[in-house]
Copies of this chain bind each other. A is one copy, B any other.
């Protein structure tokens, strides 16, 4: 049984999701949003740092997945996103978590079976896989998707198991 944290960083809202991977499937533990508020930029970054640390302290995940951002947007928003992302990663590192990065395509592939799935489809699959009755806020849902993707890739490292066969199907089956 492993507790896995997924983080979807943003300069305004950072989503988090925690799932429990029991080797055969994943269960929902918690999810939510860290809202950075209207303070100065250093204050907002501190909110992200302390928010991620609080999630780790509360739920005790041992490993963390984070989206590997790739985008054609402007350098200014890339810089702001980078700041929040760096802070979230260091909060994880300082808490002793190992950290893996996944591209958006890898996350969609793992969750919805296709790298071209849209946000809506990913959200529906997250609800289905984790047996959620309510639709999570989109940043929280994205963070849960990253946590599930990380669970999937971790499982795929176990050789010769059922999980390995599942991985070859190119889709997360829980």
Chain A residues in the interface with B (C-beta under 8 A): 40-43, 45-46, 48-49, 69-87, 89-90, 92-94, 99, 101
Cα(A83)–Cα(B85), bound, Å: 6
CA A89 to CA B79, docked complex, whole Å = 13
Q: Report which residue of A79, A80, A93, A99 has the largest number of chain B beta carbons within 10 angstroms of its beta carbon.
A: A79
Q: Which of A42, A74, A80 has the most CB of B within 10 A?
A: A42
- Of the A-B pairs whose beta carbons lie under 8 Å apart in the complex, a sample of 24, sorted by A's number, is A41-B89, A41-B101, A42-B90, A46-B90, A46-B93, A49-B90, A69-B79, A70-B76, A71-B75, A74-B75, A75-B78, A76-B78, A78-B78, A78-B79, A79-B82, A82-B82, A82-B83, A83-B83, A83-B85, A83-B89, A84-B86, A85-B86, A86-B86, A87-B90
Identify 17 new A-B residue pairs, CB closer than 8 A, beyond the known A80-B82, A82-B86: A41-B89, A42-B92, A45-B86, A45-B90, A45-B93, A46-B93, A49-B93, A70-B76, A75-B78, A76-B78, A78-B82, A79-B82, A82-B82, A84-B86, A85-B86, A86-B87, A87-B89
Report Cα–Cα, A79/B77, bound state, in Å: 8
Give chain B residues whose Cβ lies under 8 Å from the Cβ of A90.
Answer: 42, 45-46, 48-49, 87, 90
Residues of chain B within 8 A of A93, CB atoms compared? 42-43, 45-46, 49
Chain B residues with Cβ under 8 A from A99's Cβ? 40, 42
Q: In angstroms, how far is the closest chain B Cβ from the Cβ of A36?
A: 12
